[in-house]
Structure 1
């Protein structure tokens, strides 16, 4: 009988190595992962859909085509949420399936709507409808009977910490239910299990997690104890697998406390480079109203730090020639590198497209420039802000470095695409088809 060299992947969304080391005395299962652990660097921009898609494809954004949470239609100027239909290359699961290998995947971001694969999939953020979040379709009924929740309500939870914590406890229970359903028969070669609850917790309650004196510190540690117990369940099941086997544990980005949000569209407005037409929407929808971009605008931004030059070539209402855009890019770069908040420089680096995304497919729409903020600064690109700097209910923000990584085989990949390639190489598949 042929050996089945199984690979189990445990995703711990947004977990910094430095925080894991700090929490380890209280979280024994997390502590058990620290020997041999290191860090991995996030793909830029340091967002979940970008990075988990890089893991799921073994490629960078310039190949898979996911550059952020949102995509702008260059003709209508309508913003939409990126999803799995926009992933422009085969996934790891596609390529394993072509070799007759089976994958089972739980809560991996940017896999919604679920695509057919050889195996089973329960999609993660941003999954909205359980019926469309699973493959094969029969899983929807089974998970519904178990009370499966796709996501906690962070919109309400931002203003109601107790509600947020209750929602995160419910989604942790849902992840356990899915694990109990998909793991036991061992009819799989690759198992991917992602816990996104840490990312939600850190965005809104970072101070409560990291400061012992915070009034919600004990409540956050209680949630993290439940999270740690679920890690323990996964590790126990991995330990019981027959050899040969391999375990990858990784985060998609790091985290730190938030100093301030930095709205790049407001900065562009104040610099005279973006003009917005009068608003037509109200409330939370107003921040998405990219259709307000006026023809005379020279540049625009998309979350988190993507700057697009408003060229005739790229946009229906664009006005810049390519030569004008090249000159303007240099001016914007220098100005942003000089931007400060309370005397502290905001930007770590401002990249041009050719520096960050060489060889981008002509069908892609990468940003002309990408800003990497220094730790503590959260880059935004809303269409209704009246100030460059401010805080709006969040307490923590992503970092590109310090993301947790551990491989039982001892590898040290540089960034998330390399972790995806480790999966392929484990099964004897070359990174490029």
Structure 2
């Protein structure tokens, strides 16, 4: 009996997906709830579990096909309906070949050579050519000793090494040859392309920059990272500081945390921070909910969990929806400066970059400091330039003096 495998419900407003990969082949055993296929949606990859235990049946959709929610994409055959694998019966041992009848006396292997019966038997048993053996008997006849000496000599010689296979000559390169590879865009990549272009077409997007001295945060991290990891079970990174600093700055400049819906502006008293993390098929943006209520440890734990599950492809749909502000850290890939694109319907995105030692002036002296460029892209329809700059300055002040985060300045 076959049980259908259907596309599961994928989340609010998501009605279709693409077959990304079949994880089981027809005939493979499967357990109940074991993943048999991977679907790509416009947000994340989703695994399709087997509804029953049994044996994987035939596919009803192939990799790359677009399928609707509820569509049948394959089947699982019940174990009871699958005949057991029976080992092939052992073949009876072949009957031993009859011993070769001794050659009649008149059928000597050496033509006109005269061999004694015992010598003839040795020659036949070892497949020797008697004409190639020097006889030491009367009139040059072969003796048993002569044949045995030939046998011993043949066995002592090493087997000839097989001749190496000739190496085929490489195909001559075609002058001016150029190659192309065409790969179908994943649904996630298509959606990223569509949404980013939509943001550019809709928002009046502008980017403002600042830089921040990372000395204080780096010293705090170096001083407390071991105790922090021992107590909380997660590494102390920089994102915890930046999220806390962003939350504080967003309370001062609420427009950066707002959005435009129709002819209305939506202001919020909470902060759901979308954090861009790398996944096998591109960047995904899970949301740290109610970041204003989380400690640095709570933020770091949440982000570390997102990063791990993004690589595993196990992020859930609901974890990707509803962010109010985005932080993207291109610095982990070595980016020095960028102009990030807003993630609609949000009105702003903060770009972090690599930390680089640069000469700066402090108290009239040129000193070297670990500096990072900050970039805030914002929707100028909602956020004025003054507000964008004020937000970045507040963020910069909090990072350069983390005590501000503790006393709410």
TM-score in same-fold range (> 0.5): no
Please tell me whether Structure 1 or Structure 2 has the larger radius of gyration of its CA atoms: 2
**TM-score, normalised relative to structure 1:** 0.27
Higher-helix-fraction structure: 1
Higher-strand-fraction structure: 2
